Structure 1
Amino acid sequence: MTKDEDGKRLERLKRIVLALPESPGCYQYFDGEGTIIYVGKAKNLKRRVSSYFNKTVQTRKTQILVSKIQDINYVVVPTDEDALLLENNLIKKYKPRYNILLKDDKTYPSVCVTNEEFPRVFKTRKIFPGVGTYYGPFSHAGTLNNMLELINRIYPLRRCRFTMSSQQIENCKFKACLEYHIKNCKAPCVGLQSKEEYMESVAEVKEILKGNTRKVCEKLLQRMNALAEEMRFEEAQELKRKYDLALDFCEKSEVIAPYEHNIDVFSIADDEKSAFINYLHVTNGCINQAFTFEYAKRMDEVPEDLLALGIVEMRERYHSDSKEIIVPFPIEVELKDVTITVPQRGDKKHLLDLSLANVRQYKFDKAKQAEKLNPEQRATNLLKELQTKLKLDRLPIHIECFDNSNIQGAEAVAGCVVFKKAKPAKSEYRKYIIKTVEGPDDYASMAEVVYRRYKRLMDEAGELPSLIIADGGKGQMGIIKHVVEDELQLQIPIAGLAKDGKHRTSELLTYQDGQIVTVGVEIKSALFQFLTRIQDEVHRYAIQFHRDKRSKAQVASELDTIKGVGAATKTALLKQFKSVKRIREASEDAIAEVVGKAKARIIKEAL
């Protein structure tokens, strides 16, 4: 598309925007093929859609989306709640390319209690309207299986698929099957269990499936005590067994508070690509369902919008009719007869904290899993985080860090370590002996080393780093900036690692608008550990070089001053004669046997 054609396209779209109503509704963007590429909701359609064409606030993702739009359609609805529901339905129906996508779209199992005269209870992944009442779905199959096992042990309902009626039972149409003989069923099919008793068991099963296990426990306890008072001890003992099973199951659920109404709890955590939403369903103070879903981001969605959409999606999927929703921050959504709460303390805050802990753990586990599948992903994530913190134009794949080492200016040296893709590139480490500085002057030494390093790379057309890190904080940052930008005319981002009073890395520094500012990095974060590793490595490298140089100076001997005697010759002589004194006392022939006649003559003359 030419520039003129694109200009005409934008003018046409802006005319459509000007005609939009200032009402709640949903808008749809179409590409050149008539395919819906984005669906959104708005309290004010005109204001929301016009924001996409405001170049001063466009992000890169928004620019890409706008470049694909060829037409705009909209649907006006009465309320903001209707807009949210419609948006959710349109996204599920059309799956627009640039909308968030619920990645976990698998079908979870539910429990069906049939509408038959003698209802059956079974697990299913398919929903058939009119067959019965469905409970769930349940995201954790283990939890569901434990619940069904409890139900089967307390209430041995029939499992057969016969179409059973009271008339057929009276006419003796059935025979007791194996399930009766192994005590998994009380055989209502042959009249050994009355319909009234059977339906009473079904009613209590429904209470358990609703999460009202404590209510069932109370009923069992009352009936057990009544039977005991009537001296019907065998029946009371059977009820006690059921009561103990139900109580044990109930105690395994986390009891938050004795609320008499149901509560939905939602929380969110996100990164660049995904949002993770946790949903806890609380019934009578017990958490009986917990889910966490991942949404793939397509645009620059904010957490408030993502959470609002997730609430509608999950409440619809899990058939929730809770009248209270707990969230971590205010959201612009109104649901009929539903109260939205942002708790600050108390039991509800405990519920929210539990949900937040779950969603953060889920996000952490997903990141760990991704790292195992792709070991380089962790390095990429670290560098992306560093890029964001320092507001860099490109990923800092190539990082270099400098450090000086000397004792009161003696044997002054410096080291440069290189990290590529967040890993040390040791073959590219460089050592420097300070040549132009006398005395202990760290700033002058740093200026010399940085100049030598990058002047040589420029002369040899070598690879320049994408980030330079100064080990010494603000002072060294200023020196490096002067050398790199003023003397060498290079544009390389510069950061610094400041230390606390105990010489430990304490904060990350960077330049913003010409001023050095502190960048917030959590001490326990992976990024902080990575930066500390760079600082420790350059410190180790410079210190080791200084120690080696100092050790070499301490073992220097008269042999080092003799022209033509190198390290190999010196080593051979000391190995044979043990000391310079013995070499001096040895004959020229004895020395010649080790290094040859020519060098022996030079050595004897020098010593």
Structure 2
Amino acid sequence: MLNHAFDASAFLKGLTSRPGVYRMLDAEGKVLYVGKARNLKRRLSSYFRKSGLAPKTRALVNQIYEIETIVTHTENEALILENNLIKALQPRYNVLLKDDKNYPYVFLSSDDFPRLGFHRGAKRVPGQYFGPYPSIGSVRQTLRLLQEVFPVRQCEDSFYRNRSRPCLQYQIKRCTAPCVGLIDKESYHQDVQHAIMFLEGRDQQVIDELAARMEKASQQLAFEQAAFYRDRIGSLRRIQERQYISGKEMDIDVLGVAVRGGVACVEVFFIRGGRNLGNKTFLPKFQGNLTPRELLSAFIPQYYFNREIPPTLVLSHQPEDMELLAEVLSEQAGKKIMLLRPTRGSKIRWVKMALTNAEINLSRRLVKRTNITQRLESLQQLLGWTNLPQRIECFDISHTGGKATVASCVVFDKEGPCNTDYRRFNIEGITPGDDYAALRQALTRRYRRLKKGEGKLPDLLVIDGGKGQLAQAVTVLREMEIEEITVLGIAKGPERKAGKETLFLAGHDTPIIVAPDSPALHLLQHLRDEAHRFAVANHRQRRIKGHKISPLETIPGLGPKRRQKLLIQLGGLREVARAGVEELVRVPGISLDLAQRIYDSFHGRE
């Protein structure tokens, strides 16, 4: 039976669907198993099935006390990070290797007519080594594709030196037969140089040439040939992907901070020798409202005093006393310690990964039962109720210029968000842009069904808006003779900043002003933000479905020319959807901000 100390249902409820790595720990904090996943939620859910688990997996699950996750940008990053963690932690339930020779490389020999080949092990043979690659399969695929694009020989030297006539690879145009002198040394080395440029990432010329061929084939209605080039572009992009996980030889710590709803999360990633060795999550306690800068100023000295400090700390936010912190840490360590807040370059990628994990772990913290209970108790006091709210519903409206209007309804109970009870309403038959009419229609449809017994009525109905929206909700409930629901409006402040909201309670003339650090206000903010997120997601889905448009057409700033360039360069919509920000930004005309928007449109911000 599963360890009762681990609540699998609560853990899975707040888990992300992004790619990443997970660590399973026992009650003593020892790592039992490290794994990777394309979809963390789906993969980890498979461990807690009621049946069908292998005996070894059941034994592992029975010992789980806690599961830690690290979200990565792509599945390839997760694979390399998993490899690093397994070596560093030596988990009992993982397959362990005794050496570090399992990273595969592409090898280019130093012969007069060099050969490309697979290599794994000590680098004793003279030549160039490209990698490491995440798997043996990826190297084999790379070599196959390189052979199609660059006809450089891949045969063993013993085979090459004993040829009297060209082999089959020459017949199918995947080799230029240097073994029998059918190509001169200079021409051969041009192909070799192109292969090197591609393996080193200087591959834009190759991609552009294939893209031009694809367009030409398409214009000539040779769609099968165009599809061939499209698939080749996608494959070349895949094998050429640059990872965030491996980099130059360096020792740094990366700190990402997220603060929301009176709760904070600090993620510290440990980079040693250019490899990501994992992270540690901190949930510091504090009173009042703190900015990420203020939190870092307090966290850094507490964490790094009296411990070994790497030469560089890379920060997501700049503390006001950053120079002083660097000076004090340098004195303590007896060496120069640098504190950096990068705005561009390779280190910004590490910061984004740390921030993503901080935001996701913060969201998981916000929906934990103990935290929800505390907030419900605060809301109970605010409303003057004798009992805790058992069920809360919140509505929001989303549209673009009045088109494809969608209303969302999210539901919270004593355990937090009830995702299965969320509902969306496609709004029809109203004047475009009339949010009041949209809200009336959604509320009427929702509570007509609930009154018929198709679900539970809430104790509290929260409306994203002020007195106008509140009046619409009160009118709908009065017309339907529903009296047992309390209605509350939450209006953004004049600067639309979190913490400066005004609350309007039905039946009360005076608005309610709540302290920014009130747990009740944090709960209402969470409800409102979740309703907004759900409404926007469904609005986007409706636009795509209703107009039969590409998901790319809904992304602000991505016009027809850039969409075409994106599809051509990456080899189709599927490749665009699986690409990371690093791959997207390499397409001409795609800025870093736009690449991030494209990535978020397919993966979402959590």
Q: TM-score w.r.t. structure 1 length? A: 0.29
